[in-house]
Chains A and B, each alone.
Chain A
């Protein structure tokens, strides 16, 4: 099973700042099959990024994904007030599908 470790656990930033979230895999993720989701309190997750860098439909271009192998990054170029939430990475290159523990981006 591939274990995904997200860091930091919490990121305290102000609107307008840049957010950089990390997702590290315990072994290489096949075909860079890595997705990112955003979840706000009381809501279902929302797909942001698939295949490490593909932006999902309707996702603003301030969200970008990068990385390969075991190291992946989600970057939010300029935080908007609605971006503050918990973010999860998920690998789908190997069974079982696994999620990271999440990074909370909170308002500083």
Chain B
């Protein structure tokens, strides 16, 4: 079964940091571009970041550029999102999603259940 499982969410103070992980199974992870998408409480979906298969190309939304870093370990079938300098506006459910297409032209065909990040003092 194709599966993505996120972890690492939690409560963090403003200015703090957090590292999210996504474990992939049931497919050849190294063959797919990967994405992070978030959803603030009661709001719509917001693309956060994409990383190509070999990590050669990485893209970020302007709202997180310079603060978030995406990475992947194809040997471990895992995706990560390092988040620094968090603010209340980063409070959201973060989804890991498999990308279809090429480079940044990606739609998402498989989604994890998400992990919740709450930034609050």
- A positions within 8 Å CB-CB of B: 30-31, 33, 35, 37, 39, 43-47, 50, 56-57, 88, 90, 92-93, 95-102
Given contacts A50-B107, A92-B105, contact A44 B113 (CB under 8 A): yes
User: Quick check: A96 and B47 within 8 Å, CB to CB?
Assistant: yes
Partner of A45, one of B61, B101, B104, B111: B111
* Residue in chain B with minimal CB distance to A1: B62
Give B65-121 interface residues, CB cut-off 8 Å to A: 95, 100-101, 104-114
B53 contacts the other chain (CB 8 A): no
User: Quick check: A99 and B111 within 8 Å, CB to CB?
Assistant: no
Inter-chain contacts of A101 with B (CB < 8 A): 44
Inter-chain contacts of A50 with B (CB < 8 A): 100, 107, 109
Q: Smallest Cβ distance from A58 to chain B, in angstroms?
A: 11
User: Quick check: A45 and B108 within 8 Å, CB to CB?
Assistant: yes
- B positions within 8 Å CB-CB of A: 35, 37, 44-47, 50, 59, 61-62, 95, 100-101, 104-114
Inter-chain contacts of A88 with B (CB < 8 A): 44-45
Q: Which 3 A-B pairs have the closest CB atoms?
A: A35-B107, A44-B111, A97-B47
Complex CA gap A99/B95 in Å reads 14
* Residue in chain B with minimal CB distance to A6: B44
Inter-chain contacts of A37 with B (CB < 8 A): 45, 108
Complex CA gap A40/B58 in Å reads 30
Inter-chain contacts of B37 with A (CB < 8 A): 45
* Residue in chain A with minimal CB distance to B61: A96
User: Quick check: B45 and A96 within 8 Å, CB to CB?
Assistant: no
* Residue in chain B with minimal CB distance to A93: B105
A-B contact pairs, 11 of them (CB 8 A): A33-B107, A39-B45, A44-B95, A44-B114, A45-B108, A46-B111, A92-B104, A92-B106, A93-B105, A96-B62, A102-B44
Partner of A56, one of B35, B47, B109: B109
